[in-house]
Amino acid sequence: MINAPFLVFFIGAAIVLALPGRSERSGRLRKIVMLAVPLAGLINLLTLDQTTVWQLQWLDLDLVLFTSDRLSFIFGILFHIAAIIATIYAWHVKDRPQQAVALLYPGSALGIVFAGDFLTLFVFWECLALTSVFFITARATPRAIKSAIRYLVFQVVSGVLLLTGSLLMLHQTGGIAIGPLDMTDPGAIFFLLAFGIKAAFPMLHNWLTDAYPEATVSGTVFLGAFTTKVAVYVLARTFTGLDALIYIGMAMACFPIFYAVIENDLRRVLSYSMINQIGFMVCGIGIGTELAVNGAVAHAFNDVIFKGLLMMSMGAVLFRTGDMRASNLGGLFRTMPKTTALCLVGAASISAFPLFSGFVSKSMVMAALLLQHHEFVWLAMLFASAGVFHHAGIKIPYFAFFAHDSGLRPEEAPRHMLIAMSIAAALCIFVGSFPQLLYRHLPFAVDYAPFELPHVVEQVQLLFFSALAFIWLQLKNIYPAELKSTNIDSEWLYRKFWPAIYTTACAIAQKLHLGINGFASATATMLTPMARKQSYDLLMPWSVRAMLMVVMAFLGVVLGLFYLV
């Protein structure tokens, strides 16, 4: 038995890298190791003594490499399940570095989840950033490389902020143990910004919508499962009950809807949808009650599964057609019926249909809002719930598999992709039908019944009228058309606006510099003859009378200043 779950994955990655050769036998062996590692890790975690603490002494610091409680345990289970599903889905990948990264990346996420101090957290935080970027660069297109660079800049800035907060805490308190924080604590603002970048807070979110759609077919599935969810975990660990998170979460849930509705790239639609769902989790953490935190954690668990299912279905479409633009797709249900059916399960889950996983977790956050008298926020989140049904529950399957006939007749998704999607779909239905199996592992005891008649009726009404609105907009040709265009997001500020301001300022400064130089040169040319004459006069011998007049004038000035002071 290994104390730290991340070690299982790191050892597995080392074995994958060590297995030589490009033969089919070596490739099959690496795949077996890749699948065996998360399975062995899950068994190791389930049999691990939860009271175990693994500490390391370094430079007079007590580093806690492993510590566990109910919150870290459920995220640990989630990340092992996600790694198993994603590994099966990526069975077609033969690139050895990608295979190793597919183990190092979830291993880094597990290191974050079970870390007991901020310095250990920082080390795994950076490992997570460095390993995840390979899923983007592996696509090897110029656009993917540029997106990877921008992605890495954001992740490194997040790590620098985290390290800054850790050092401030160490300097002022002498300790770096992870625990509840408020905004008066040393380094709290740096921690919040660091976590906010990885959680895709508003104005800090563009790395997600920029990079995830450019990753490989299987890379997007891995990315969607870990990076943002470790941010949700550390927010729940440190900033539970911070009121500002309620309104940040509300903004995150609402603003992506408008972008997702007009977006043509379906994987980018899902990226905006991911921000929308994280908004519910952040809002629940901000409320801070036991019901709200349970709802946030449960929704994080379910989101990894149903969002992964949607990402996998769109990845299968991309794998078979080579295109992800809604304007170029449609009619794929004829030759990809199994992928279509599995995608519909994911769409029902993210839309929170009763008996699907999203319903049993999202409703907990909504109920917590009403119990804490946040009626305005509740209305905004209700709007966000209707919006996610439009762009993820309807738009994704409708424009990919139905809508107009694109004429494409691709093969059904490969068998390993169908197996991975089927596992995720089964979990969506199982958790949605038997939520108590999830509730019993949440951080706090759960006293909530999701299938009460008012909850069910309210959700069914919301979904019914949202569907009617979509149908009416389609019939009236008012629903935004799928255009081959690039939508401008807040990234325009740092990609276009600020560079334009900088270029303009440099041009103005250069013109001022040239103007001042020209004026100084002209003035010097004009004054040179006069200066030469004055210099000649000063160098000539002075008379005694002139010298006495200068001395008298100087003494008069000194006396005047003396009496004035």
C-alpha span between 474 and 266 (Å, rounded): 18
Extract the tokens encoding 44.
């190791």
Q: Which two tokens stand for residue 260?
A: 């997702």
Say if residue 538's pLDDT is above 60: no
Burial of 467 (0-12, 13-18, 19+ CB in 10 A): middle
Q: What is the pLDDT of residue 55?
A: 79
Minimum mean pLDDT range among 102-111, 300-309, 325-334, 428-437: 325-334
Phi, psi for residue 114 in degrees, rounded to 5: -105, 10
Q: What is the dihedral of CA 402, 136, 28, 3, to 10 degrees?
A: -110
312 and 420 Cβ atoms separated by less than 8 Å: yes
In which band, very low, low, confident or very high, does the pLDDT at 527 lie, cut at 50, 70 and 90?
Answer: low
CA proximity to 377, closest of 366, 388, 362: 366
Mean pLDDT, to the nearest integer, of 152-180? 93
Q: Which residues contact 350 (CB under 8 A, 6 or more apart)?
A: 273, 277, 303, 306, 307, 310, 358, 388, 392, 393
- Predicted confidence (pLDDT) at residue 26 exceeds the cutoff of 90: no
- Give the range among 144-148, 153-157, 245-249, 503-507 with minimum mean pLDDT: 503-507
Q: Report the pLDDT value the prediction gives residue 455, as an integer from 0 to 100.
A: 84
Q: What is the share, in percent, of the chain residues with pLDDT greater than 90?
A: 61
pLDDT of residue 155 exceeding 90: yes
What is the Cα–Cα distance from 213 to 220, expressed in whole angstroms? Answer: 7
Give whole-number Cα distances, 356 to 217, 281, 343, in Å.
26, 18, 13
What pLDDT band is residue 317 in, cutting at 50, 70 and 90?
very high
Digit-coded pLDDT (tens) for 358-395: 999 999 999 999 999 999 999 999 999 988 888 888 88
Among 230, 14, 207, which Cα is nearest to 104's? 14
More confident residue, 364 or 466: 364
Kindly report, residue by residue over 169-219, the tens digit of the pLDDT.
998 988 889 999 988 888 899 999 999 999 999 999 999 999 999 999 999
Q: What is the pLDDT of residue 516?
A: 86
Give the model's pLDDT for residue 561: 76
Average pLDDT of the chain is: 89
Residue-wise pLDDT for 72-87, tens only, equals: 999 999 999 999 999 9
Confidence of residue 304 (pLDDT cuts 50, 70, 90): very high
pLDDT over 70, % of the chain? 94
Would you state the pLDDT for residue 213? Answer: 92
More confident residue, 55 or 113: 113
What is residue 307's predicted lDDT score, i.e. its pLDDT?
95
- Domain extent listing, the chain: 240-486
pLDDT for 533: 58
pLDDT in tens, 348-357: 999 999 999 9
Global pTM value: 0.87
Q: Stretch 19-38: mean pLDDT, rounded?
A: 84
- Position 77 scores a pLDDT of 96
pLDDT value of residue 534: 56
**Token pair of 5 as six digits:** 């779950």
